[in-house]
Structure 1
Amino acid sequence: MEVIVMQDEAERVGLVADRIAGLLAAKPHAVLGLATGSSPLPVYRELIRRYEAGALSFRGASAFTLDEYVGLAEDHPERYRHVIEREFTSHVDLDPAAVAGPDGTAADLPAACAAYEEQIRAAGGVDLQILGIGSDGHIAFNEPGSSFASRTRIKTLTAQTRADNARFFGGDADAVPHHCLTQGLGTVMEARHIVLLATGTEKAEAVHQMIEGPVSALWPATILQHHPHVTVLLDRAAASRLLLADYYREVFAGKPDWQGI
């Protein structure tokens, strides 16, 4: 796991955008894993800027989203399919038909989850997965206690997650659905490169546990310690609980320029 502590947002975002640009240059048909929430938004804005400047194309790429609320109407603005369109995919040349997500409106939710897993397999798996992290250490919607072997399935959201997401529902936690479909931890771990972004003191304990704590289902993101290629990008606030923060800075400062992330 590579940990990068960098206060300047433009620099953090630039590293991720450079990595995605390099991936698309080497593999135009790359498969991207897209997260919603606030953490990835600066990355999406930078990718849109580069696309509009003619420096980047997603024409041959495809994408999978991490999760979806269960029970929201097709036209609800907070359905994650609409969120990812609004914030990113509709602004670049990524074919809308090449963007897939779990179907939270399906009559048979287990069958929809199995079909989604098959879609990801048929596409060859995810080349680069963007992640955020919840204040309780969840990634995607894999809440504390989730199985490390889990696949796409229905999950019940914790009260903390619903409270954290209330800002997207007019501040009303009661308006946040109780259930979601989410890629499992086993599914997420099959991505070839995982890039996780976190900022702010409210993420500091989860970040500390993820990087320096024991691997435990109490903090689902700790499973990432077993992944061969994870890049974690943090501001100082999110890194404030890290015991080895100075060491992580030294490692990155001495990294060869050609290596990238």
Structure 2
Amino acid sequence: MRIYECADYSAMSRQAANIISAQVILEPQCVLGLATGSTPIGTYEQLVEWYKKGDLSFAGVRSVNLDEYRGLSAEHDQSYRYFMQTHLFDHVDIRRENTNVPNGMAEDPAAECARYDQIIRDLGGIDLQLLGMGHNGHIGFNEPTDYFPLGTHLVDLTQSTIEANKRFFASEADVPRQALTMGVGSIMSAKSVLVVVSGADKAAIVRSAFCGPITPQVPASILQLHPHVTLVGDRAALTEIRKEGVAVCG
């Protein structure tokens, strides 16, 4: 695992965008696994800036998003399809038909999950998977549990995740209680994984995920077994992991 320590959120976002842009430049038809949430926003903003400068093109890129809330349409302003359109897709030259997000309105969630797994297989797998990480160690919406789910599946969100996401909704009651999420098996099948973390409130879970035991109670801990993981964090988020003597790049 390679770890980059950045001075602040802006520097973290730029470093992560550098890694993604290198992937796109070296392999213009690559498959990007994309994440939502507050942490990747700066990374997407940097990619959009470089696109507008003419330094980057997404014309051949295919993408698969990690997850989507169940019960939210693509037009809902808190859906993850809407998030991706707002923060990245609408501002670059990626083709709409090359972008994939689970359908949160699917009447049969199991069939939708199977369909999504088939999309990933048909694309030949994911070349670079971008991940954030929740305070409880969830990646995508793979919450702490007794096993590592393999494929895309329907999940009940934990109270801590609902609490973390309620700031985006009018009230806690409006936060969806379920989501469709790519499984840990799909994430681990990506050729490379890029994890972005920011803030002192993530320091403890970063240490648990990358220096603690591998356990489904900390879903991100499975990434210790992936051969090509890059962790990019600001100084505050990496405070605890540095105490373990882990080598970091400045």
Q: TM-score interval w.r.t. the shorter chain?
A: over 0.9
Code of the aligned partner of 2:50? R
Superposition RMSD in Å: 1.5
Partner residue in 2 for 1:233: 232
Q: How does 1:86-235 map to 2 (within 5 A)?
A: 86-145=86-145, 147-170=147-170, 172-235=171-234
1:136-170 Cα shifts (integer Å, max 9, x gaps): 01000000016324210000000100010011113
Corresponding residue for 2:30? 30
Residues 142 and 149, structure 2, Cα contact 8 Å, conserved in 1: no
Distance 1:232 1:14 in 2: 13
Following the alignment from structure 2 to structure 1, what is the Cα–Cα distance between the partners of residues 130 and 181? 14
SS at match of 2:21: helix
Q: CA deviation at 1:26?
A: 2.0
Distance of aligned partners of 1:77 and 1:122 in 2 relative to their CA distance in 1, 3 Å threshold: same
Give 1:93 deviation, angstroms: 0.2
Superposition deviation, residue 46 in structure 1:
0.4
Determine the C-alpha separation between the residues in 1 that align with 2:152 and 2:127: 18
Question: Residue 248 of structure 1 aligns to which amino acid in structure 2?
Answer: A
Report the 3-state secondary structure (helix = DSSP H, G, I; strand = E; otherwise coil) of the residue aligned with 2:180. strand
8 Å contact kept, 2:31–2:125: yes
SS of 1:129's partner is strand
Greater displacement, 193-202 / 142-151:
142-151
> What is the rounded CA distance, in whole Å, between the counterparts of 2:236 and 2:229 in structure 1?
20
Whether contact under 8 Å (1:142, 1:220) holds in the other structure is: yes
The amino acid of 1:240's aligned partner reads T
Whole-angstrom CA distance in 2 between matches of 1:194 and 1:161: 22
Q: What's the offset of the Cα at 1:89?
A: 0.9
| Equivalent residue letter for 2:125 | G
2:153 corresponds to which letter in structure 1?
Answer: R
C-alpha displacement of 1:50 = 0.2
Percent identical residues: 38
Distance in 1 between the 2:17 and 2:241 partners? Answer: 25
Name the amino acid aligned to 2:241.
L
How far apart in 1 are the matches of 2:153 and 2:131? Answer: 18
Residue 181 (structure 1) shift: 0.2
> 2: distance between equivalents of 1:142 and 1:85?
23
Q: In structure 1, list runs of 5 or more residues that go unmatched.
A: 254-261
Counterpart for residue 85 of structure 1: 85
TM-score (norm 2): 0.95
- Secondary structure of residue in 2 paired with 1:195: strand
Q: Which residue number corresponds to residue 257 of structure 1?
A: none
In the alignment, residue 161 of structure 2 is paired with which amino acid? T
* Matched residue type, 2:235: R
Structure 2 residue runs without a partner (length 5+): none
Q: Look up the SS of the partner of 2:33 in the other structure.
A: strand
Tell me how far 1:108 sits from its aligned partner. Answer: 1.0
Determine the C-alpha separation between the residues in 2 that align with 1:42 and 1:245: 28
Question: Which whole-Å CA distance do the structure 2 matches of 1:127 and 1:74 have between them?
Answer: 25
Query: Shift in Å at residue 79 of structure 1?
Result: 1.0
- Report the Cα distance in structure 1 between the residues aligned to 2:156 and 2:181, rounded to whole angstroms: 10
Q: CA deviation at 1:24?
A: 1.8
Structure 1 SS opposite 2:247: helix
- Structure 2 CA distance for aligned equivalents of residues 157 and 242 of structure 1: 27
Deviation at 1:202, TM superposition (A): 1.7
Greater shift, 68-77 or 203-212, is seen at: 68-77
Q: The residue matched to 1:139 in structure 2 has which SS? A: coil
Deviates more, 1:154-163 or 1:197-206: 197-206
